[in-house]
Structure 1
């Protein structure tokens, strides 16, 4: 019996099904590679001073713009003869420190406001939700450029500024989960036993919502890495002599045609790191969300 579907439709459908099945089969491998890459990045950040072959400001003017592959400079040198590998290692450390600190600050700040909204309700809840709506509608990159241009760039200011990115996500999640936990009854039972609100939220509600907040952190972390890279690329992030991944990309764009390795090495690290965090975040969401299972 002839098929009622056009002949050109069946191969396309089979190709899509085969593509999706191949993704499902290779997902554990992709997640494993992502975890290995993230572990390697963390180790590089921890032991940067020991594995860095040269100082980040050490210049070798006789080897300016040397291409990769040399035994002396594996990833080549920049316009001042500085070793690209050494600067890349230091950039990984600084970018990860900024991203981790900002993500943690954003999670703590947003979760605290979400719990406050769930506890006090009324005016406090409306105020928190209004601030969250304002934050979501605010063009954060433009605001960051204005703040850094007015106050100047410093490491503390940069981390604090990045820490205000995405807090509304944690506030909404924490508020909703806290209200849901209160409706389930176990929080009210603890209150009747004499527990203070702080103990209820920190010892009973927070552990039950921690998995969802952790998944949200894996979503915010790569966004903050890209945001810091963009600010450093524009010259308002990490300032010399310090170096970050975005800082290296910003300086390397002027030599893209003559020495592309200056920009391509940190750009590749940014891409692989954000991709790995996204893959691990999706995997954690599937593993920790009982509704998916």
Structure 2
């Protein structure tokens, strides 16, 4: 194969790259996620109606109405207003749980890499236990026993997926500790906390960020499933899964009640997955 043939070969992803080396599909994913975050932050300002205000005279209005673009639900509540607030609640749970899971897993991974021996075996045993347990069943049991509240839901979701961060952080920390820069800083008298937080963590942050983008859509789907089953976000508060759960009873008469939040869930998880795959390809040197 000649150099000219190699130069004409298409990129591995098969996507036409835009300026800056970012494929158009990734730009669409970024634009969607930025839009979702903007909607979540400005929910109180852009909601046309109160998401809890019923209007029985306007029950089950179809989408396209001049006053209700996405229609109304069984109580006459504006679907667009409820969708906007639901995006804020679902993203709050997903972001809070993902960050909590990353902090817990990375901390336990660093402890396992530093102490080794008994501590490492305990962390790995807990990680194996967490990975083997059906998390949805455990979450259902906890919420059914203690009741559902937003702080409890975020804390419970924060325990999802921590074992992935723990394994990654442990392996990368052990590898980094064996390299020259970590050993040199340790020999200079730096405390272990400084070595791990100032030197090792920045070098493995890209891998942890990619892992977070993979866990984030799973947290959204898990919260949606719990809310769909009635043990997630409780009324009068609303979430995307909560809207899908209430809309299933009207799927034949008013499908827009369920389709609007369901479409948002699908597009959001798809956008995060696309962004995560692209970040993995860009940040992982073994895939270049």
- Do Structure 1 and Structure 2 share a fold, with TM-score over 0.5? yes
Instruction: Determine the structure 2 residue equivalent to 1:25.
Output: 16
- The C-alpha deviation readout for 1:34-78, integer Å capped at 9, x for no partner, is 100000000000000000000011112111000000110000000
Aligned: 1:84 with 2:43: no
Q: How does 1:98-113 map to 2 (within 5 A)?
A: 98-113=93-108
Which of 168, 178, 182 aligns to 1:183? It is 178
Structure 2: gaps of 5 or more residues: 1-10
Instruction: Determine the structure 1 residue equivalent to 2:285.
Output: 290
Which of 37, 41, 46 aligns to 1:46? It is 41
Instruction: Determine the structure 2 residue equivalent to 1:127.
Output: 122
Larger displacement relative to structure 2 (166-175 or 55-64) = 55-64
Instruction: Determine the structure 2 residue equivalent to 1:272.
Output: 267
SS of residue matched to 2:287: coil
TM-fit CA distance, 1:21: 8.0
TM-fit CA distance, 1:289: 1.1
- 2:199 and 2:14 mapped to 1: Cα distance? 38
Moved over 2 A (4+): 20-27
Instruction: Determine the structure 2 residue equivalent to 1:213.
Output: 208
TM-fit CA distance, 1:25: 3.4
Instruction: Determine the structure 1 residue equivalent to 2:3.
Output: none
Instruction: Determine the structure 2 residue equivalent to 1:231.
Output: 226
CA pair 21-104 structure 1, distance change in 2 beyond 3 A: closer
CA pair 188-22 structure 1, distance change in 2 beyond 3 A: closer
- 1:246 and 1:69 mapped to 2: Cα distance? 23
Aligned: 1:140 with 2:135: yes
Aligned length: 274
TM-fit CA distance, 1:23: 4.6
CA pair 23-259 structure 1, distance change in 2 beyond 3 A: farther
- The C-alpha deviation readout for 1:153-176, integer Å capped at 9, x for no partner, is 011110010000000000000000
- 2:183 and 2:195 mapped to 1: Cα distance? 9
**Please, what TM-score do these two structures have when normalized by structure 2?**
0.93
Aligned: 1:252 with 2:247: yes
TM-fit CA distance, 1:185: 2.0
- 1:256 and 1:199 mapped to 2: Cα distance? 56
- 1:21 and 1:277 mapped to 2: Cα distance? 20
Aligned: 1:164 with 2:154: no
Instruction: Determine the structure 2 residue equivalent to 1:13.
Output: none
- The C-alpha deviation readout for 1:198-255, integer Å capped at 9, x for no partner, is 0000000000000000000000000000000000000000000000000000000000
- 1:22 and 1:118 mapped to 2: Cα distance? 35
Instruction: Determine the structure 1 residue equivalent to 2:113.
Output: 118
TM-fit CA distance, 1:183: 1.0
Instruction: Determine the structure 2 residue equivalent to 1:151.
Output: 146
- 2:46 and 2:170 mapped to 1: Cα distance? 44
